[in-house]
Amino acid sequence: MSVNSSGWLRKTLSHVPQYVIAIVVSIIIIYPILIAVLGGFKTSGELFNSPFSLPEDWVLDNYQHVLGLSSFWRQLFNSTVVMTGTVVLATFSASLAAFVFARMSFRGRDAIFNVFMIGLLFPIMVAILPLYILMRQMELLNNLLGLVLVEAAFQLSGMILILRGFFRSLPRELEDATYIDGGGAFTFLWYVLLPLSGPALAANAALAMVFSWNMLFLPLLALNDEILYTLPLGTMQFFGQYMANWARLMAFIVLAMLPAVIFYLLAERHIVSGLTGGALKG
């Protein structure tokens, strides 16, 4: 065996544990999703008797039934509205704040930044009681705008952390050139920083999208009108109606999570580069 072949073999064998771990983790993540997708093509009896096998007869009725529900499309629309508003508002607000923390010097800057970072330590459930009282006083209950404002606020800390790292990594010469050409701070942010921070913006948008799309606790607290229900609430309601028909429930769950999965797969490369770039350059 040649020296090159021996070196290649040793290098390949050294990565075997990593490959094994990656395969095992992938199976753990993908297999339940695969069972749910295939379960939607089965009858309830077949799902209980053979949950891990391929369908004997591919039943399309479950997916057709869900797609024929006007409530499903209404909930899909509500979730899309809340998700879009959350992503736009949180990204815009975080960009302005991250720009201040990254490119401007003033007394107490680091202290204020650390206060924002404390928000990463508190899940939404911790603040649910005062949050409910505040939303009631501001007449934001049973209102999609209230969901957008609250969900965007809870995304700010992580977004600022990621964007600040990217903004600080850009050379000072770009900022000086903008000011020499007669531009101001907003010009530098809008025409220089944001276009060059595409991976960080994409990572923020994807994470905020998934967070908003899967949010159940806040809509459960704030929404009373079924017309305003989002897909997580619709899934819970659908479960109450079809708890005896697990195959149909599987179809609803798969269709409800499909947009988030597609968006995440499309943005996965930007998410990885955005998170690692912010961590390394911050």
Q: Is residue 163 part of a domain?
A: yes
Q: Are residues 111 and 202 in the same domain?
A: yes
CATH number at residue 240: 1.10.3720.10
How many structural domains does the chain have? 2
Global pTM reads 0.82
pLDDT at 163 over 80: yes
Q: Are residues 125 and 260 in the same domain?
A: yes
Question: pLDDT tens for residues 78-129?
Answer: 999 999 999 999 999 999 999 888 888 888 888 888 888 887 877 777 778 8
Q: What pLDDT score was predicted for residue 11? A: 67
Q: What pLDDT score was predicted for residue 229? A: 92
Q: Which of 97-106, 130-139, 147-156, 272-281 has the lowest mean pLDDT?
A: 272-281
Confidence band of 35 (pLDDT split at 50, 70, 90): confident
CA angle 47, 53, 56 (to 5 degrees): 75
Q: Are residues 23 and 153 in the same domain?
A: no
Q: Are residues 33 and 84 in the same domain?
A: no
State the Rg of the chain over Cα: 24
Q: What pLDDT score was predicted for residue 275? A: 59
pLDDT at 171 over 50: yes
Q: What pLDDT score was predicted for residue 107? A: 86
Q: Is residue 45 part of a domain?
A: no
Q: Are residues 16 and 71 in the same domain?
A: no
Q: Are residues 17 and 115 in the same domain?
A: no
Q: What does the pLDDT average to over 163-168?
A: 85
Q: Are residues 274 and 142 in the same domain?
A: yes
Q: Is residue 202 part of a domain?
A: yes
Q: Are 77 and 83 in contact (CB under 8 A)?
A: no
Q: Is residue 123 part of a domain?
A: yes
For residue 177, what are the domain limits?
Answer: 64-281
Q: Are residues 69 and 188 in the same domain?
A: yes
Q: Is residue 72 part of a domain?
A: yes
Q: Is residue 70 part of a domain?
A: yes
Q: Are residues 112 and 18 in the same domain?
A: no
Q: What pLDDT score was predicted for residue 73? A: 93
Q: Is residue 167 part of a domain?
A: yes
Question: pLDDT tens for residues 178-225?
Answer: 788 777 777 888 888 888 887 788 888 888 888 888 888 888 888 888
pLDDT at 158 over 50: yes
Question: pLDDT tens for residues 7-27?
Answer: 666 666 666 788 888 888 888
Q: Are residues 8 and 94 in the same domain?
A: no
Q: What pLDDT score was predicted for residue 282? A: 43
Mean pLDDT, all residues of the chain = 82
Q: Are residues 84 and 177 in the same domain?
A: yes
Q: Are residues 128 and 234 in the same domain?
A: yes
Q: Is residue 150 part of a domain?
A: yes
